[in-house]
Amino acid sequence: MMHPYVREPKLTFTVGLYPKPKHYADQESPIGEVIGSHHEGFREAQVGNAQAWYYPTDKTIVLWECFFDDRFRKLPLPEDANMQKLWQSFERYLLTKFPQASTLATPFNDPIAESIDEYQAFLKTLGYSPLVQGAFGKTL
């Protein structure tokens, strides 16, 4: 299991409110102003998920899922360079952990895609092809 993340700054702002703040958002006068700020380091914000299983007898790694959360996916999967890089990075990590693996496999469909065709086109951009019924894969 892997959780891709980005580092976000931890910021705190102090806002001083005016004695007579505006009552509605469309009024002209502000309700206050920033009178201080503080940077407290960084936090890791999860932006997706990845999961894989290694089957040593078969020398096969099965990637069950590998994706960015939908708020980070704006393009169709076959065109999304970030999704491709995430998948390829996960593959590289798995291959360093299980160097004896000879096959990578994955389900032929995933609910993150708009259609089965879109997901399979994405897998093909990564070098996968139909392996057995219900699965795509590639030989290492």
* Arithmetic mean of pLDDT, 57-74: 95
Asked whether the predicted pLDDT for residue 27 surpasses 80, the reply is no
* Arithmetic mean of pLDDT, 100-109: 98
Lowest mean pLDDT among 18-22, 79-83, 127-131: 18-22
Asked whether the predicted pLDDT for residue 22 surpasses 70, the reply is no
63 φ/ψ sector (left φ>0, alpha ψ -120 to 50, else beta): beta
- Backbone φ and ψ for 117, nearest 5 degrees, come out as -60, -40
